[in-house]
Structure 1
Amino acid sequence: MFIAGFPAGSFQANCYVIGTDRGGDALVVDPGQDAFEQLTAVLAEHRMRPVAVLLTHGHLDHTASAAQICASLDIPAYLHGADEFMLDDPLAGLSPQARVMLVDFDLTGLRPDTVTSLTSVDELQLAGLTMAVDHTPGHTGGCVTYRFAAADGRPEVLLTGDTLFAGSVGRTDLPGGSTDQLMISIERHLLTRADDAVVLPGHGPTSTIGDERRTNPFLTGLALS
């Protein structure tokens, strides 16, 4: 399995490229602000051909380049239906302070031509890969975690978006957020995974479920229970 990632734009949201190997089909996960040029360079370096854009949730810092990438490559995007409204009204998912800061920005044209809803989807098969799609609301109503099963000596891989970070969890004070939902999602869908499962979060460094279970101050109580 091939994975490359980089933080994009002023929000430093992690964008990932995933495939079975270099030189093959690929998935692009969470192409945020100003991700297009960096992504193009990564794809060229590793000779990857994207077949889809996967979005962990609808916030602008994870979706801002999705429409541009989908249009340039003629590929679809995948997003849970509960967050689709943010593609048409990106400010609706942000805090009042962020809305003021972005009021003069052109936020039109951010919806890809083809958006496939993940509302009733629990598995995808794309780019030669099979992944589980776990609905993990809390940061937003439509957050999902993309989960790739362990294989050939490689541990399970979890793309957690803004649900779980190294040493932290997603904020819940934005529209559609819920602390109770977030903690239930983490307990049911993430802390149930093996200790060596790799966490690829929406911001910051990678981690493992075991490290988060033992050291994440937001989760130690859940792990003990």
Structure 2
Amino acid sequence: MLTIAFPAAAFDTNCYVLATSPGEECLVVDPGIGVEEQLAAVLREHRLRPAAVLLTHGHLDHVYSVTPVCGGDIAAYIHQDDRYRLADPLASLEPGLVAMLERQFGRQSTWREPSQVVTVRDHERLPLAGLDLSVLHAPGHTEGSVMFTLPEVPDQLREETGATATCVSGDVLFAGSIGRSDLPGGDPEAMRRSLRDVVLPLPDDMLVLPGHGPGTTIARERATNPHLQGLTA
């Protein structure tokens, strides 16, 4: 599997491009703030054609560029419980932060909802761009936070990590940490249940590609992440 990752221009949100190989269709995951130029360069370099945009949740730093990336004929996939956030993800921000975004990114800070949105459900299978993904609903950071799993591993990380499958975890699980649950729509108890019932049952040899920060594995997080200690799957 070809996997390219790069950070957005704000909040260090990871944007991922997934494909079976160069020259094929691809999936764009969490196109955040200011990713358009770098994403276009990645697509040109690897001769990739976006087939869909996958959103791990509806926070602004993960969806900011979804509409220009989608254009008119590419659908954005998001869990049904976060679908409402695409109406206007700027609405929940403080005015000062909106003003900052307007100064830095101009017109992009005026939101336009994607024309095609597909809502997904827990355990739904998504065969897209030659990849076979599964949806894991893991609320807590937001009501509709999800992780996407697939039975492939990025070519460049297979030998290094020994992983046999991949989880794109969004803001549910980070290397050594987890997503905040104190923002609007967050729920600490729901996050605890998601970590116990969704994250812990994942296999140790699963690579984790998080929404922020470096990649990790379930084995490493199970052994070292303080937020997983004391939980029983």
The normalised TM-score by structure 2 is 0.88
Count of aligned positions = 220
Unmatched segments (≥5 aa) in structure 1: none
Between the aligned residues of both structures, percent identity stands at 48
User: How is 1:2-21 mapped onto 2 (pairs within 5 angstroms)?
Assistant: 2-21=2-21
Partner of 2:202: helix, strand, or coil?
coil
Which residue number corresponds to residue 98 of structure 2? 102
What's the C-alpha RMSD, in Å, of the aligned pairs?
A: 2.0
Partner of 1:116: helix, strand, or coil?
strand
Which residue number corresponds to residue 30 of structure 1? 30
- CA–CA distance in structure 1, aligned partners of residues 16 and 169 of structure 2: 12
Deviates further, 108-117 or 133-142: 108-117
Kindly provide the amino acid, as one letter, of the partner of residue 134 in structure 2: A
Partner of 1:172: helix, strand, or coil?
coil
- CA–CA distance in structure 2, aligned partners of residues 188 and 99 of structure 1: 37
- CA–CA distance in structure 2, aligned partners of residues 163 and 93 of structure 1: 20
Which residue number corresponds to residue 125 of structure 1? 127
Does residue 1:219 correspond to 2:228, yes or no?
Answer: yes
Tell me the CA shift for residue 111 of structure 1: 1.4
- CA–CA distance in structure 2, aligned partners of residues 120 and 147 of structure 1: 12
User: How is 1:179-194 mapped onto 2 (pairs within 5 angstroms)?
Assistant: 179-194=188-203
Which residue number corresponds to residue 195 of structure 1? 204
The normalised TM-score by structure 1 is 0.91
**Residues 93 and 176, structure 1, Cα contact 8 Å, conserved in 2:** no
Which residue number corresponds to residue 156 of structure 1? 165
Kindly provide the amino acid, as one letter, of the partner of residue 55 in structure 1: L
**Residues 88 and 113, structure 2, Cα contact 8 Å, conserved in 1:** no
- CA–CA distance in structure 1, aligned partners of residues 5 and 82 of structure 2: 23
Partner of 1:84: helix, strand, or coil?
helix
Unmatched segments (≥5 aa) in structure 2: none
**Residues 58 and 78, structure 2, Cα contact 8 Å, conserved in 1:** yes
Partner of 2:71: helix, strand, or coil?
helix
Kindly provide the amino acid, as one letter, of the partner of residue 79 in structure 1: I
Kindly provide the amino acid, as one letter, of the partner of residue 77 in structure 1: A
